[in-house]
Amino acid sequence: MAALGWLTPRRRSATARSVLAGEAAAEAARKTSLQLEQEREEEAAALEAARAAEAAPEEPEFPVVGDVRAAAFFDLDNTVMQGAAIFHFGRGLYKRKFFQRRELARFAWAQIWFRLAGVEDPAHMQEARDSALSIVKGHRVSELMAIGEEIYDEYMADRIWPGTRALAQAHLDAGQKVWLVTAAPVETATIIARRLGLTGALGTVAESVDGVYTGRLVGELLHGPAKAEAVRALAAAEGLDLARCAAYSDSHNDIPMLSLVGHPYAINPDTKLRRHARDREWRLRDYRTGRKAAKIGIPAAAGLGAVAGGTAAAVALHRRRR
């Protein structure tokens, strides 16, 4: 029987270590229970949120199909097309010997300054305007329109941003009108709009008499606040509701136009517009691959030797003034 003594339970008093082990186990059990309960509550909340999301109405489709009181307004330079339309047009005219290399450099200098500085310096704006008008003065509107068609094929067709083009097409597919809004000459803008299948274009209007350019503008360049006024006037004439319209631009100079509509988009935005758009929760799209190179939008015409020198000078001057 003594040999079976090990089977007989013995009473042992709890030691301090055994008490500690028991208490630790009990505490761990409580924590585990609380953790499991919390996990079950979180799973239930997630399931409820998923059910609520499924039951919630979907975000309205945009653009709204068949909404004839809505339209879209697209800035041109660096929004629809890489670079500036006026530069590409100038390259084509220079190739056709409309002016000399020195005039091209002068014209390009004014335009590059405007793009780099990002401000409406009156002196440079005046120079940009005067240089462009001096080039076309005395030429027939029909002549430059025909040349513009050729220049589009040579310098512009391959520079259209596919992403922005798709946005414009979405509005067209929805049955809405789509307009370009640009400081470029209205004739150039109209050619681009027609080639892209858009409704039309708002652009700077140069005065002509009997079909010949006089070298003067009707008003001023269609830039900044003038764009907003053009959109407002067109919307009134077309019976559009601006709260249902969309506008697209890369430049902070177009904030007045973007602020007019209910659906503003920042496309390939410059730094100021990006900040403004984020502050106001506007939608952003960036189709550039080399953002630093494209940020200031130096146009392709800068590849010409004379213009390249002007670019370097403009950059240096801009940095000194900062």
**Are 189 and 182 spatial neighbours (Cβ–Cβ below 8 Å)?**
yes
Q: Which residues contact 31 (CB under 8 A, 6 or more apart)?
A: none
Other Cβ atoms within 10 Å of 185 Cβ, number = 28
Look at the block and give the residue holding tokens 């305007």.
Answer: 129
Token pair of 256, please? 């007045």
Helix (H, G, I), strand (E, B), or coil: what is residue 91? helix
**Set 75, 250, 254, 270: catalytic member:** 75
Strand arrangement, sheet containing 283-285: 200-204, 177-185, 71-75, 246-249, 263-267, 283-285
**Are 300 and 159 spatial neighbours (Cβ–Cβ below 8 Å)?**
yes
Q: Which residues contact 274 (CB under 8 A, 6 or more apart)?
A: 266, 284
Assign 3-state DSSP to the chain and report helix, strand, coil percentages, each to 5.
60, 15, 25
Radius of gyration of the chain (CA): 33
**Set 67, 77, 153, 279: catalytic member:** 77
Q: Is 75 a catalytic residue?
A: yes
Q: Is 77 a catalytic residue?
A: yes
Q: Any idea which residues carry the catalytic annotation?
A: 75, 77
